[in-house]
Amino acid sequence: MLRTDCSPFNIEQDTNSPSLKKINDEAKDRAIRFIKILSKLTTWEFKETNWNWEKLNLYRFSKSDFKADKKNLNNTNYDEFIKKENLLSWAMTSGINIEYTIEEPDKMP
């Protein structure tokens, strides 16, 4: 989740690794409770030792759509869009709009 200033929420500095982040304890506990519910409902075994909540890299991406870019969905704009190098994901949300996520400001290795 992001705050209104786009800074991460529920993520804090990892004190053991200053260049890395960790999920804060409250969010971690909520996530584990939810995963345990899913485990019981699906008969999938939850192994807490297989999950990592620390020493994480934080990558920030940007989301937009054709409407915000003031572009109409047509063959030319679609072809230019598909050729974007830093396109991570996209979804056609209507017959006239595509929402997408790009690797900006960060890039994954």
pTM for this model (two decimals): 0.65
Please state, in angstroms and rounded to a whole number, the distance separating the CA atoms of residues 106 and 39. 34
Point out which residues pair with 65 in neighbouring strands: 99
User: What pLDDT, on a 0 to 100 scale, did the predictor assign at position 30?
Assistant: 96
Point out which residues pair with 98 in neighbouring strands: 92
Task: Assess whether pLDDT exceeds 70 at residue 4.
Answer: no
Point out which residues pair with 23 in neighbouring strands: 11
pLDDT in tens, 45-82: 999 999 999 999 988 888 888 888 898 888 888 888 88
Cβ 53 vs Cβ 86: under 8 Å = no
Please state, in angstroms and rounded to a whole number, the distance separating the CA atoms of residues 59 and 46. 27
